[in-house]
Structure 1
Amino acid sequence: MKTDEQKTSRRTFVKQTTMLAGGLMSAPLLSNAGYFNSVDDTIKVALIGCGGRGTGAAVQALSSKQNVKLVAMADAFKDRLDSSYAILTSEDNEDANVRAKVAVPESNRFVGFDAYTKAMQLADVVILATPPGFRPIHFAEAVRLGKHIFMEKPVATDPAGVKKVLEAAEIAKQKKLNVVVGLQRHYQNSYRELYKRVKDGMIGEITSGQVWWNNDGVWVNMRQPNQTEMEYQMRNWYYFNWLCGDHINEQHIHNIDVMNWFKGAYPVKAQGMGGRQVRTGKEYGEIYDHHFVEFHYADGSILNSQCRHIKGTYAKVDEQIVGTKGTMFAGDGNLVSKGKVLYQYTPQKENEPDPYQTEHDELFEAIAKGKYKFADAENGAKSTMTSIMGRMATYSGQVIEWDKALNSGINIMPTTFAWDANPPVMPDANGFYPVATPGVTKYLL
């Protein structure tokens, strides 16, 4: 997710960032009815969070067929914003059309914790791509200001954040604001075709599922001299729960969400196990390196979920859903019953749509046509809550119930956002952070 090189082609850059991804009151104003109403038909976009995923999302927005311009950028760190801007405008970017759509003067490049609201006020659409902990704050502000929104998953890191997103999602619906969440499997042709057939009953009633996100893990940013604790944690955000929510939330949400989507429901409780067996260094903050969760749905069906970040182990990122008459294998793109293939998805040989691009193509088409088509925030929040519930189960060893967890008020965010403020979790004298211990750590008493 680090993108320091400025000489990166659009194609290579977008491929890398999307594969790894894994934070209004000015004219032209979008009406409360959700209609785009610019005099010159230009859809103005603000990018909030200028890391790899944010920069990739900006490229995808500018690559849509609509008359889109990037007019504002915001990030907590100036070097991240500068790097993103350099990539978007570099002559080495082979897509001159994307470069031509970047119109962000120095005065519209905002830095700091409050940069997001300044950038939002200049745009019609906002892209929210900061570390997930900031998503509830940024989403609520974008909705308050009446903006259409693309926001990356997950949409929160704690139950209080999920509640905030759900509340703002209701207001977004009332204002008819299009909201797309970066759970891109919803925009992938193979999943869409499988979903149609599962809902038509081809594999019968869903009884169970298995989902995986097992791989080597992601980047680490080591502590640098003279960094405050707040800056260090934000630079190394993947390893702190207030920013990331653990990899069960930041990455594995994709797979968990598939079960929720196909099931048309969310689990009512969860129990599981996990730990920190290999990634034990202080640079890995407080998160686990493996989780296994058993999610229970109201009708008795069960989802077995596993995610692991351990090098040299079996890698698998996939979903399998079992019904009374057959099984869906998402990775294979098929539905199978007793060894017989009931349906096989066949991709287009050369022009299979990129779901990361499709998200933006469909969002900006709806905005340009003044249509209200997308309300992803509620599902994004509830699938985020599912992942958080799983983390609470593995960290504590307790059975975690949905209603109690969602309404618990648990809030792990800082009370003050400033470079000299202490984050919610602090290191000991040796630089190590407290780590949850099953049987000792407790959430819902």
Structure 2
Amino acid sequence: MSQPNQAAGQSNRRQFLTAAAATAATAAAAPRAFAAHPGGSGRLKVGLVGCGGRGKGAVRDALNAGDDAVLVAVADAFEDNMTSAHQQLSEEFGDRIQVPEDQRFAGFDAYKQVIATDCDIVILATPPGFRPQHFREAVDAGKHVFAEKPVAVDAPGIRSFMETARDAKDRGLAVGIGLQRRHDAAYIDTVNRIWDGALGDEVLYTRVYWNNAGVWTRPRRPEQTEMEYQMRNWYYFTWLCGDHICEQHIHNLDVSNWIKQAHPVSANGMGGREVRTGKDHGQIFDHHCVEFTYADGTTMMSQCRHQPNTWSQVSEFAHGAKGHCSVSGHKFYDRTGKPTDRVRAKGENPYVQEHIDLQKSIRDGKPLAEGENGAIATMTAILGRMATYSGQVVEWDQAIQSDVSLAPQRYAFDADPPVLPNQSGRYPVPTPGGDTAWSRTPSGEKVVGAATAT
């Protein structure tokens, strides 16, 4: 299988250090013995935490990435999800699914049971609200990790994830993040050409989009507790999903950061709910439009929308003095719009390639370290959400220091989630310009708009 330039995985040509890194405490845990299979061969044993569509997809990608990778343990909060995933994967991969009954787990603590097995790599693919605590548990157990994006839903989660990522690096543990564009041969070549001056001496601005009709809803069933309902319908609750600006648009935001070799320092924007306003649409917005500003004064113009029968676009563009580039289309144009170049690099499916790169890094004893970048990309999306929820200009340094956690007080199916419906079954929705404690800085300054049930 082809191996793209590793600039994708770690931007090793011009890797940037960010101001955000200073906000996370340095990991102080004692080094652990080096992880499984350095410089060698043999089976890489995979454990799965989160058996939804993305979790099953990540297992497929991991097994397709290496013939000697096997699945040895699975976990999900819901037993039916776990059982279904195990059955589907067994039918697809046969004896490479080596998960005995006593290594199939369900419940809120099931992730701990997978991590306690002898797996080498843990795939974390639950809703992102759980990611920081699952990542911490895996690294404490000395496991390599593939974590799906986003990696958190709030600033405390980001700081936790960054600290754990540093700890993983200190311990020689590989960490891959599901931002597969950084492992796509055509994207890598396109970004390299931008860095080499194809658009001029600098990128003046970028445009990024994730506009489509939206995703599934899962209606409430009478027997469900409120916690189970929200977890089944997790995409529509900010404490679980982070809003779709985090869950999907993060890919496009990360491409702009990759090109700029930086993260934004501020954001302002607007958003709301116009179309997806039903009870099963929870509390998230159906559109966000954000202008991000980088430290050099350049901007990223961002749109994401979940509205049927509207302009659909999932793409990134970069503009400079010489012209512009369709980054997602891998094409370059001069200032008149005339095509000047096209990247024709071909490689492995990037969803598979990111697992090839992760597994190779383990075997070569040069562990991939994508955790901090995953946190930066996620924080960029959270910054945009804070701007649209509040209707205010929000500074990066202010946002990442927020002490507001969106997590519930207790993780159990009979516990109350952080948000509850009113008597009409409606959930609190952010109102730009309102007065609320949805998100505050440590000094108590409000940075996220009011929550009212509509």
Q: TM-score, normalised by structure 2?
A: 0.87
Q: How does 1:318-333 map to 2 (within 5 A)?
A: 318-333=315-330
TM-superposed CA distance for 1:341, in Å, is 3.5
Post-superposition Cα deviations, 1:77-106, rounded to whole Å, max 9, x if no partner, equal 00000110010112xx3xxxx322110001
In 1: Cα distance, 2:421 partner to 2:39 partner: 50
Task: Quote the residue 1:113 is aligned against.
Answer: 108
Post-superposition Cα deviations, 1:202-256, rounded to whole Å, max 9, x if no partner, equal 2120111111000000000000011000000000000000000000000000001
Q: Which moved more, 1:195-204 or 1:239-248?
A: 195-204
Counterpart AA for 1:346: R
Task: Quote the residue 2:173 is aligned against.
Answer: 177
For the aligned residues, what is the CA RMSD? 1.6
Post-superposition Cα deviations, 1:99-154, rounded to whole Å, max 9, x if no partner, equal 22110001000111111011012111100000010001111111111111111000
Counterpart AA for 1:61: A
Counterpart AA for 2:381: S
2:260 maps to 1:263: yes
In 2: Cα distance, 1:323 partner to 1:363 partner: 34
Counterpart AA for 1:405: A
TM-superposed CA distance for 1:389, in Å, is 0.8
Q: How does 1:357-396 map to 2 (within 5 A)?
A: 357-372=352-367, 374-396=368-390
Q: Which moved more, 1:329-338 or 1:261-270?
A: 329-338
2:343 maps to 1:345: yes
Q: Which moved more, 1:433-442 or 1:253-262?
A: 433-442
Task: Quote the residue 1:354 is aligned against.
Answer: 349
Task: Quote the residue 1:45 is aligned against.
Answer: 46
TM-superposed CA distance for 1:36, in Å, is 2.0
Which of these residues, 234, 238, 244, is aligned with residue 237 of structure 1?
A: 234
In 2: Cα distance, 1:34 partner to 1:148 partner: 7
Q: How does 1:192-271 map to 2 (within 5 A)?
A: 192-204=188-200, 205-271=202-268
Q: How does 1:44-443 map to 2 (within 5 A)?
A: 44-90=45-91, 93=92, 98-122=93-117, 123-204=119-200, 205-338=202-335, 339-348=337-346, 352-372=347-367, 374-442=368-436, 443=439
Q: How does 1:22-33 map to 2 (within 5 A)?
A: 32-33=33-34
TM-superposed CA distance for 1:326, in Å, is 2.5
Distance 1:84 1:35, change over 3 A: closer
In 1: Cα distance, 2:348 partner to 2:82 partner: 29
In 1: Cα distance, 2:392 partner to 2:41 partner: 57
TM-superposed CA distance for 1:66, in Å, is 4.5
TM-superposed CA distance for 1:199, in Å, is 1.3
SS of aligned partner of 2:191: helix
Distance 1:32 1:261, change over 3 A: farther
Q: Is there any run of 5+ residues in structure 2 with no aligned partner, and where?
A: 1-30, 446-454
1:327–1:336 Cα contact (<8 Å) kept: yes
Counterpart AA for 1:45: V
In 1: Cα distance, 2:39 partner to 2:49 partner: 21
SS of aligned partner of 1:371: coil
Task: Quote the residue 1:17 is aligned against.
Answer: none
1:395–1:436 Cα contact (<8 Å) kept: yes
In 2: Cα distance, 1:332 partner to 1:56 partner: 24
SS of aligned partner of 1:335: strand
Counterpart AA for 2:405: N
TM-superposed CA distance for 1:342, in Å, is 3.8
SS of aligned partner of 2:428: coil
In 2: Cα distance, 1:199 partner to 1:231 partner: 47
Q: Which moved more, 1:323-332 or 1:303-312?
A: 323-332
In 2: Cα distance, 1:178 partner to 1:39 partner: 15
In 1: Cα distance, 2:121 partner to 2:131 partner: 15
Q: Is there any run of 5+ residues in structure 1 with no aligned partner, and where?
A: 1-29
In 1: Cα distance, 2:178 partner to 2:49 partner: 14
Counterpart AA for 1:177: L
In 1: Cα distance, 2:292 partner to 2:204 partner: 12
2:191–2:327 Cα contact (<8 Å) kept: no
In 2: Cα distance, 1:148 partner to 1:337 partner: 44
Post-superposition Cα deviations, 1:145-201, rounded to whole Å, max 9, x if no partner, equal 111111100000111101100111111111121111001100111110011111112
1:395–1:441 Cα contact (<8 Å) kept: no
In 2: Cα distance, 1:277 partner to 1:222 partner: 20
Distance 1:328 1:258, change over 3 A: same
Task: Quote the residue 1:9 is aligned against.
Answer: none
1:66–1:365 Cα contact (<8 Å) kept: no
Q: TM-score, normalised by structure 1?
A: 0.88
SS of aligned partner of 2:135: helix
SS of aligned partner of 1:63: helix
Number of residue pairs matched?
406
In 1: Cα distance, 2:323 partner to 2:174 partner: 36
Identity %: 50
Distance 1:222 1:79, change over 3 A: same
